[in-house]
Amino acid sequence: MARGRFSEKKQVVSVKFPIGTARISIEQKEADRFIPTIKNYFSSNRMDTVLIHTATGLWPMLEYELDIVQRELDCGNRVIFMYCRGSVGVCPANPPRSGQARKQRYCLECQSRVKSGLKWLEPGDGRLEAVEYDQYTHTEEDSIQLLMDKLDRSDRSVATIKRMVNFEGVDVFEASYSTLMTHIRDSELNLEYHWNSLKQLLRVGISSYYSASSHIAYYAPDRVYIYNGRISRYRPLMRLVQRQEKELFVYEYPGRDYLHYSLTRGTYPHDIGNTSKQLQELFLKTVPDPVIVKNEAETWFLNRSQRKLDGPQKLFLDSKLVHMKDDHSLPVWDKSVFNLVFFVSSQDELGGIEENVTDLPFGQVEAIKRIMEEFPEIHCYVRIHPNLAGVEKGFVGNLFNLARFQGVTVIAPESPVSSYALVNAADLVLVFASTIGVEAAFQKKPVISVGKSSYGYFKCTATVRTDKDLMRLIHGAVNGDFSGFPSEAKRYEGACAFAWAQLHFGEKPEYLERDSYFGGYMVRNGEKKEIKASGWIQVINRLVDAPPKLVRGIKVFFSDPIKRKEFSAQPLSVIKKGVFSVLPS
C-alpha cells in the first residue's frame, strides 16, 4: 500500500500556516515546489519547524524523545513528531522468527505506548503534529518494487548493489549492510546466503529515502532530530538533511548512565572521530579543575578495571563478564622478547560507517599478518574481546587461525586471562579504536591506535592511518625508540581528560527521571507519569508469548552453561524477567 499525502491527480490540499489554514487546488508535480514557497512567505517572526524521526515506541528511547519534543514546544516551536504506524517492512523491535510473520499485536503495543507519550506532551505556545513517517506515492512504491526485481536479476555484487540503490548522496547499501551486521553479529557477510534479509533492509532504506524527501519538501524544517542515524530506516533522512546543510541533531541512548542521552550535532555518534572532537571541545570549553579531572578519571579507570560498569554497558556486557574470574597470571610469557598485545575490537561495530573505515589501511586480521611478516622476532598476544563470545564466527575463526604464526598467541573471548594484566606486562599495545587503548595510556603504556578512535583528539596514543606509519612505529618500539609516541606525561594527562569528558558528556533531560534502562517517569510540575502501552494489550501479548518463551528458555538452560548458572542463582527472578519482560518477544 502506498503512503502519501498526494495522489497522482489534481486534488484539494489543506496547508496549515501560523495565521490559518489555506485550501489549495494543486497538482502533484507542483506540490513539492509550491508549498515550501508559500510557507516561506509567512516566515517572518514565525515559530521554528522541527522534525523528529523517532525510534520504535517499544524501546526506552521514547522518554528521551518526549523530553526533546517538550523542550522544543516550550520554546514556542512547531514540532512534527514522525513515528511508525506498522507499515515498515523490517522492524528491529518486532523481528519475525524463522518461519514466522511479523506480529501485528506487537505493532499495536508499540503504537499504544507512543500515543500514551503524545498525550503527556503539552504544546503550550508551540504546536505539535504527530504524523506517520512512511510517506510515498503509488508511483514510488512501484519504482521500489521494480528496483527490487532488478536487484534479484543482477550479479548481486557490492559494486552493482551500490550503483543501483545509492543515489543523491544517500548510502542506502552501507546503512543496510551495517544494520544486517548488527542483527546477525557477523561482519563477514555472505551476501548470497543473506540475500533476502539484505533486500528487505534495502527496501526499508529506499522507502525511507522517499519518505524523507517528502517530509523535507512538505515541512521545510529549520531543525531535524533523528534517532541513531546509522541503520537503514534512519540514515536517508540524515544524509538528505546533511546535504541541505540544515541544523541536525542525532540522538542515542546514554553511554555512561541511564539519564544523559547522546545528542550529536551534524552527524551520527557512530562517527567516532567526530565524537572524539566533541568530547575534546567539551573539555576545552569547560576548563575543569585539574585535581577534579585527575580524581574523577582515576575512579572511572579503576571501576573499569574492576568491571564495575554502568549504563547500557552494564546491561549488555555484565552477563558475559560476571562469570569470568580474572586470572591475573599471564599466558606463557617470555620477557626476553618484545611482547606486543593486540586488543581486538568487535568488527561489526566498524562496518557500514564510511567515516570510520576510510582511515584504515587494512582490517584487524590483516594487521597481525603484516606485523608478523615484518617482525617475526616479536611475540604478539591477540586478545579477543569477551563480547565476541559465540558470535562473529567467521571473523573469530580467522583470528584463531593467526596462531599458525610461531610468535602469535590467541586468547579466546571466554578466557579468564585479565586484559589489565596483559596491559601491564606488554611492551607495546595495539588497538583498533578499543577503549582498552586509552586505559593502557592511563597506565602510561605506549599505545598505537589504528584509524579513528573516541580518544584520538586527546593525543594520548600514537595514531596511524597507513601501513608505513604502523611499521615505522613498531620498528622504533622494538629498538627502544618511542619518540613517535606521546610522552608518558601526555599519555596520562590525555587519558584523564578523555575520561572526564566521557563522564560529563551527554544531554541531561529536563522532564525525565530514570535510573534503569527501562522505565522511569516523565515529570512535570511535580507530577510523575510512566509511559506505558494499554494494559490489556500488554497482558494479551505476555500471555500469548509465555508458552514459546518457556520452551526457548528450557532449550537455553540445557545449551548455555552461563544462562544455567544465572537461573540456578536466581530462578524466580529469571522466570519473571523472561515471561513478564518489558518488551514483547
> Which tens digits make up the pLDDT trace of 118-139?
999 999 999 999 999 999 899 9
Neighbours of 508 (CB within 10 A): 11
The residue ranges of every structural domain in the chain are 320-504, 546-579
Full-model pTM? 0.84
77: nearest Cα among 42, 113, 104, 49: 49
Q: How far apart are CA 463 and CA 430, in angstroms?
A: 10
Give the list of residues 6+ apart from residue 252 with CB closer than 8 angstroms, or none: 227, 228, 261, 262, 264, 268, 269
CB 409 within 8 A of CB 380: yes
pLDDT higher than 50, residue 195: yes
CB 129 within 8 A of CB 121: no
Tell the burial category of 384 from Cβ atoms under 10 Å away from its Cβ (0-12, 13-18, 19+): buried
The lowest-confidence range among 90-94, 320-324, 512-516 is: 320-324
Confidence band of 414 (pLDDT split at 50, 70, 90): confident
pLDDT higher than 80, residue 340: yes
pLDDT higher than 60, residue 145: yes
Tell the burial category of 569 from Cβ atoms under 10 Å away from its Cβ (0-12, 13-18, 19+): exposed
The sign of the CA dihedral 504, 505, 511, 517 is negative
Q: How do residues 150-174 score in pLDDT, each as one tens digit?
A: 999 999 999 999 999 998 889 999 9
Q: What is the mean pLDDT of residues 303-319?
A: 68
Between 443 and 357, residue with greater pLDDT: 443
pLDDT higher than 60, residue 197: yes
pLDDT reported for residue 45 = 54
pLDDT higher than 60, residue 380: yes
How many helices (H) and strands (E) are present in the chain, helices listed first? 21, 17
Q: Are strands 20-26 and 11-17 parallel, antiparallel or unpaired?
A: antiparallel
Q: In what order do the strands lie in the sheet containing 512-513? A: 512-513, 521-524, 527-529
pLDDT reported for residue 10 = 41
Between 342 and 552, residue with greater pLDDT: 342
CATH of 320-504, one of 3.40.50.720, 3.40.50.2000, 1.10.150.120, 3.10.105.10: 3.40.50.2000
pLDDT reported for residue 558 = 76
450: nearest Cα among 561, 348, 357, 378: 357
Give the list of residues 6+ apart from residue 105 with CB closer than 8 angstroms, or none: 537, 540, 541, 544, 584
Confidence band of 328 (pLDDT split at 50, 70, 90): low
Tell the burial category of 81 from Cβ atoms under 10 Å away from its Cβ (0-12, 13-18, 19+): buried
